[in-house]
Amino acid sequence: MLTQLLATMYQVFLPISLPVIGGVLLRRFRGLDTKPLVTLSLYVLTPSIVFTTLLHADISLGDVGHTISFSLLSLVILWLVAVMLSRVLQLNPQEQAGLTMISTFTNCVNYGLPLVLLAFGQLGLDKASVYVIGQMIIVNTVGVFFAARSHFSVRHAVYSVFRLPAIYAAMIATILRLNGLSLPTALDEGFAMLVAAYSPVALAVLGAQMIHVGVTNINASSNDPAQLAAQVAPTRRALWAGLSLRIIAAPLLSWLLLRLLGIDGILFNVLFILTSMPTAVNAVILAEQFGAAPRLVSRCILWTTLSSIVVLPVLIYLLQ
């Protein structure tokens, strides 16, 4: 068992670790500014991988239905668990908002897609495409609601979704596929080059962001309630609740839900791993913007990402 577990770590996590370490070193010693890379990833590389994967994906309508059903149900269940746990622990409203984001937002794009590709191959990446698109929509709609219910605007949330180029890439790929159309070979090869660049860039950005993710930048006036909330260190019970939800509860609940929905095979493996990923780095952006316990969120991002180095190989081994 130990030999197979170490083999999984070697085959899957060693390749992933190299660009992550590269990002860490560049940020630490060369002051790497991740903003241009994030822009490149968001507006060029992510739309390219979504477009190419959906256009060529080996995925059926049944897979799409199962993925959407699972995504929505798991979102609701994890949200309810976070709310109930917040009430039991008597967390303040800011910590409750942060806990809901910790439990429901997973790093399925920057971290999850490269991991799925290495662990389950191109077929795994195909199965992951629908879930990832759904998560992008959820983060920019439900995520805004979780972060700041008093500031929530349906119009703003919908607008933020349609600012994502990956959404348009998914629409175009779906239209081409439904009409049986394909790209010229040269253009298809060009997109393949962009897709190949996605994983190393996304992982390097992840590594660079992880250095400072535990520190929130508070520059606003102390009269701003959101900024005052951000300055308050999270309680120990809130931190442990967030870590327990993401590391233990989320995988267990996902496993049970996948079984109840009758999902099996490679789709089961992919969805289970994607919902067991650490908390998404982007969650702290919303937390900082709306004062939803950003220090709690950032610390959970840091520790869930570090723990994933051990947890995820074990889960992948169990699936195999």
Q: pLDDT tens digits, residue range 85-102?
A: 999 998 888 888 889 889
Q: pLDDT tens digits, residue range 64-74?
A: 999 999 999 99
Q: Note the pLDDT of residue 160.
A: 67
Both tokens assigned to 6 = 């170490």
Task: Please tell me the total number of residues recorded for the chain in this structure.
Answer: 320
Q: Note the pLDDT of residue 154.
A: 63
Q: What is the mean pLDDT of the chain?
A: 84
Q: Note the pLDDT of residue 5.
A: 76
Q: Note the pLDDT of residue 217.
A: 47
Q: Residue 220 carries which DSSP code?
A: S
Q: Note the pLDDT of residue 233.
A: 56
Both tokens assigned to 230 = 């951000």
Residue 298 predicted with pLDDT over 70: yes
Cα angle for residues 26, 278, 246 (degrees, 5° grid): 150
Q: Residue 106 carries which DSSP code?
A: B
**Helical H runs in 111-245?**
113-147, 154-161, 165-178, 185-212, 225-231, 236-244
Residue 152 predicted with pLDDT over 90: no
Residue 61 predicted with pLDDT over 70: yes
Decide: 167 and 82 in contact? Cβ < 8 Å.
no
At position 139, the amino acid (one-letter code) is: V
Q: Of the segments 123-132, 165-174, 228-237, 253-262, which one has the largest average pLDDT value?
A: 253-262
Q: Note the pLDDT of residue 19.
A: 92
Q: What are φ and ψ of residue 279, in 5° steps? A: -60, 140
- The residue ranking higher by pLDDT, 158 or 208, is 208
Residue 221 predicted with pLDDT over 50: no
What is the average per-residue pLDDT within 216-229? 47
Q: Count the Cβ atoms, other than its own, within 10 Å of residue 76.
A: 12
Residue 219 predicted with pLDDT over 80: no
At position 104, the amino acid (one-letter code) is: T
Give the long-range contacts of residues 237-241, CB within 8 A, separation 24 or more: 237/89, 237/91, 238/89, 238/91, 238/95, 238/98, 238/99, 238/293, 238/296, 239/296, 239/299, 239/300, 241/85, 241/86, 241/89, 241/91, 241/99
User: Is the entire prediction scored with pTM above 0.85?
Assistant: no
Q: pLDDT tens digits, residue range 304-320?
A: 999 998 899 999 988 87
